[in-house]
Amino acid sequence: KKVKVLSVKDPAEIPWTDLGVEIVIEATGIFTLKNDGVNKKGREVRGAVNHISKGGAKKVIITAPAKEEDLTIVMGVNDDRYDPNEHHVVSNASCTTNCLAPVAKVLQQKFGIKRGLMTTVHSYTNDQQILDLPHSDLRRARAAGLSIIPTTTGAARAVALVLPELKGKLNGFAMRVPTPNVSVVDFVAELAQSPVSAEEINAALKEAAENGLNGIMDYNELPLVSSDYNGDPHSSIVDGLSTMVIADNLIKVVAWYDNEWGYSCRVADLVAFMVNKGL
């Protein structure tokens, strides 16, 4: 099979209609705005909608948090909201949001979440430097392989895009670490239900992983480490051994995720889902 390769910087100049492309996976990390504008790095960029309005595609999936998108979708959490007649430029959120959101959904439905904070211990990415070099984030300017690097993430707040009832209740930050792949979310929350036990929390998460969130979330009680999850296709793998509760309703849940392969599997799932629902 031959695959046509183009060298074009402007989404508006790619002839998707001529190429027979209906869904564009916008994975450059550059065109995360729906419309033309200035991105978070202060750079003027074309909007992802140009893939449709100029290029002739039917849908665009942005593989990152987006701005002005028609809908942010996390598979297993809010994919039921997709309307092919209204949602044309969609975001698949971030790998971290895809990890946290299924866990938050189960906890919210079973126990209620009053507030929560998340820390993602995240492998370094290509947004960082391999040596100390200029970067808009002075911490990300430091050599990725030599330090634990605190930095920002909107992943926890973005959960509210797919679980609106949690708007204003979650926040968090990231610790970038010198490992090439696989990350872990450490989620601490105050639950509405009190008292609650670690066993009850694990039972709820395990039940969801085996049923409604099967294939999206997994549950594990083996004493594994990050490298063991390399290549795992799930968005979120709950580490049942690490669940904690104090003061009746202050809980900690830890969930692993392959931030590359697991997320890529969800992008493929989203493409198949949108095709099935209609373009």
Per the listing, tokens 């066993």 go with 199
Query: How far is the C-alpha of 105 from the C-alpha of 212, rounded, in Å?
Result: 11
Beta partners for 171? 117
Backbone angles phi, psi at 148, to 5 degrees: -85, 125
Q: Is 99 a known active-site residue?
A: no
Task: State how far Cα 47 lies from the chain centre.
Answer: 21
Direct distance between the N- and C-terminal alpha carbons of the chain, in angstroms, rounded to an integer: 25
Q: How far is CA 18 from CA 15, 21, 23, in A?
A: 5, 8, 13
Length of the chain: 279
Q: How far is CA 52 from CA 34, 93, 244, 267, in A?
A: 11, 20, 47, 19
Query: How far is the C-alpha of 189 from the C-alpha of 172, rounded, in Å?
Result: 11
The encoded tokens of residue 224 equal 């594994």
Strand pairing category for 236-239 and 183-191: unpaired
Which residue among 95, 104, 196, 217 is the active-site one?
95
Q: What is the DSSP string of 29-68?
A: SS--BSSSEE-TTS-EE--TTHHHHTT--SEEEESS--BS
Nearest CA to 11 out of 64, 47, 39, 38 is that of: 47
Query: Which positions are annotated as active-site residues?
Result: 95
